[in-house]
Structure 1
Amino acid sequence: MKIHDSLNSAARFAASRWRAAGLEGRKEEQQLWARVNVYRDFISATGQVYLFEDYLKRLAPPPSAHASTALETRKDAANSQKAMEFLLKDFNETLEPEQKRSVLLLIHQVNFVADTGQLDTCEDYINNRLDYAPLAIAHFATRDEAEAWLKGTAEPPSPSFILIGDEYYQAVYTREDNARFIYRDYIIEPYIGELTAGGIPTTPPSFGTRAEAEAWLKDHPASPFDFVSIAGEYYFAVHHKRLQRHTLHHVASALTKWEEMKKAAEQEKAEDAAAESEGEDE
C-alpha cells in the first residue's frame, strides 16, 4: 500500500473512532481522537510524507507499538505524551488486524514528530492551525525560481503550499514517477471572504506605498493577519512566522475570486443533483 493510502486509511479509522466517541458522549476520548489525526495533518502540511515513509522503513521489523524515548524525556510534551498513552492503550485493546495496523501507524506518526525534533513546531501547529493562515513552506519571488527549486531538489517537500510573490501555489512531487508540477491554489481567498464578512476595521493602518507598509509590518508583525490600507486600497496582511515574512493580498481582487469560487461550487452541486435525478428517473 502506498504511503498516502496508508495515511488516509489511518485517518479514516481515527475519524470513525472520533464519531463513535461523540455519539456515545465520551468527550475526552473524542478530543484525543481529533488530536491524533492532526499529527498526520502536520506531516502532510509540511511536505514530509515521503520522509515519514523512509522513517517507517528504518524501524526494526516488525515495527512495534512503543513510545519514542525522545517523547518520554520531554517534560514539556504532556499533550503528545497523553496522546501516545491513549494510542498505546487502544492498540492493546484492538483485536481486528487492519484496525490494529491503523493504530500502529498513528503511533508512528507521533514518534516521527518526536524523533525528528519537531515536537515544539507540531504543538504550535496543533494549537494554532485554526487561527493561522495556511502553512507555506517556502517563498519565491518568481515562478521561474519556484520551478527551478522544484526541479533542482532531489526530493522536494510534497505536497506543500509555497508562496510566489503574494500568491499561494501548490507544489507537488511524486516519488513513484518523479512527476513535479506547480499550480495556483486559491486557499487564502475563503479566509479573506469570511473575515471581511465580519467587517473591515474602519481605521486600519494606512500607508502611501507598499514599501511603507512592509517596513511597518516588519516592526509590527500581524498576529497572524490584519487589514491594512495602501494608497486607499484594502490589503490583507498575512504573517508567515515560519518564513519570517508577510504577504499582502488585495482584498477586492480576493473577494471577486471568492465569489467566483462559490458560484462554481454551487453550479457543480446543481449539476450533480441534476445528474443524480436523471439517474433515478431511468
Structure 2
Amino acid sequence: MSIHDALTSASRFAAVRWRAARLEGREEEKRLWPLVNEYRAFIGETGQVYLFEKYLEAGAPALRPQVSTVLEARRDAASRRVMVLLVRAFDEAAEIEQKQSASVLMHLLNFIADTGQIDALEDYVNNRVEYAPLAIAHFTTRDEAETWLRSLAEPPSPTRILVGDEYYRVWSSREDNARGMYRDYVIEPYIEELAARGISPTAPSFKTRAEAGDWLKNHPAAPFEFVSVAGEHFLAVHHKRLKRHSLHPVASALTEWEAKKRAAEREPVPEDTD
C-alpha cells in the first residue's frame, strides 16, 4: 500500500470514529477526532508525505508504536490528548485494518513530535482559518523555482510555493522521480470574496510597489489587506512563515479566476462506467 493510500485509509478510520463519538455523545472525542485530519493536512500542506514515509521505513515501526517522549512531556497540549485517543482507538479496534490505520495516525503524530514540529503544528491548527494559504518557499522567477525543484533529491510533495506574487503547486513522485509545478489559483477565491465585500476608499495608497512593500514590512496585513498602487487595487497577503507579503492585482486576478471557472464548467463530465 502506498503512503497516500495508507493516509487516506487512516482518514476514513478517523471519520468513522468521529461519527460514532458524535452519535454517542462523547464530547471530548467529538472535538479531538477532527484534529487528526488537521494533522494529516499539516503534513500534506508542508510537503512532508514522503518524509513521513521515510520515517516509517527507517524506524521499522511496530504496529503499536510507543508514544514519543516529546508528546509525553506535553500533557496539556491537544496533540497529547489526541495521541491518548489514538492509543485507545488502536486497543479497541477489532480488525487488523483498523489497527493499521490507528497505527499510521500514531506514527504520524510521533513523526511531527520527533522532528520538532509540535509548536508549528499547533500554530497551523489554531490559526489555519486566519492565515493565508500556506507556501513553503519563495522564488523571484519560475526558472529559479524549477532549478530548485530539479536540485532536490526528494522534493517536498505536494506543496505550494510562491513565484513572484503567484502561487504554484509543486509535486513529485518518489516511485519514478517525476516532478513538476503548475500555477495554483488558490488565492483568487479569497480575492473574489473580499472584493465582493467592498474595498475601502481609504485603503493605503502608494505610488510604487516598492513603497507598498516597505510600508507592509512595518504594517503587516492580518493576513489580507487591500492597498492601492499607482491607482490600481491590490490584495496584500502576509505570509508569516516566509516573512514577506505578496501583492495580487485585484482586477486581473478576478478576470483570470472567472476564465478559470468558465473553463472548468466546459470540461466534460466523466462517464459512469458502472
Deviation of the 1:69 alpha carbon: 0.5
Deviation of the 1:195 alpha carbon: 1.7
The question of 1:129 aligning with 2:122 is answered: no
| Aligned 1:75-224 pairs, distance under 5 A | 78-224=77-223
What CA RMSD, in Å, does the superposition of the two structures yield over aligned residues?
Answer: 2.0
Which residue in the other structure is 1:42 paired with?
Answer: 42
Which residue in the other structure is 1:67 paired with?
Answer: 67
SS at match of 1:226: strand
Q: Deviations over 1:38-85 (max 9, x none)?
A: 11111111111111011111224434233110111236x511111111
Distance in 2 (CA, whole Å) between partners of 1:38 and 1:85 is: 17
Distance in 1 (CA, whole Å) between partners of 2:19 and 2:161 is: 33
Using the aligned pairs only, state the percent identity.
62
Which residue in the other structure is 2:56 paired with?
Answer: 56
Which residue in the other structure is 2:229 paired with?
Answer: 230
User: Relative to 1, partners in 2 of residues 1:61 and 1:209: Cα closer, same or farther, differing over 3 Å?
Assistant: closer
SS at match of 2:241: coil
User: Relative to 1, partners in 2 of residues 1:153 and 1:89: Cα closer, same or farther, differing over 3 Å?
Assistant: same
SS at match of 1:136: coil
The answer to whether the 8 Å contact 1:141/1:165 transfers is yes
TM-score (norm 1): 0.90
Distance in 2 (CA, whole Å) between partners of 1:103 and 1:70 is: 19
Deviation of the 1:171 alpha carbon: 1.0
Which residue in the other structure is 2:260 paired with?
Answer: 261
**Which residues of structure 2 form unaligned runs of 5+?**
none
| Worse-superposed segment, 54-63 or 77-86 | 54-63
Q: How many residues align?
A: 274
| Aligned 1:236-275 pairs, distance under 5 A | 236-268=235-267, 272=269
SS at match of 1:53: helix
Q: Deviations over 1:124-175 (max 9, x none)?
A: 1111112211110111001110110000111121111011000001111111
Deviation of the 1:246 alpha carbon: 0.7
Distance in 2 (CA, whole Å) between partners of 1:234 and 1:201 is: 10
User: Relative to 1, partners in 2 of residues 1:61 and 1:263: Cα closer, same or farther, differing over 3 Å?
Assistant: closer
Distance in 2 (CA, whole Å) between partners of 1:165 and 1:60 is: 41
Distance in 2 (CA, whole Å) between partners of 1:200 and 1:28 is: 41
The answer to whether the 8 Å contact 1:37/1:106 transfers is no
The amino acid of 2:49's aligned partner reads: V
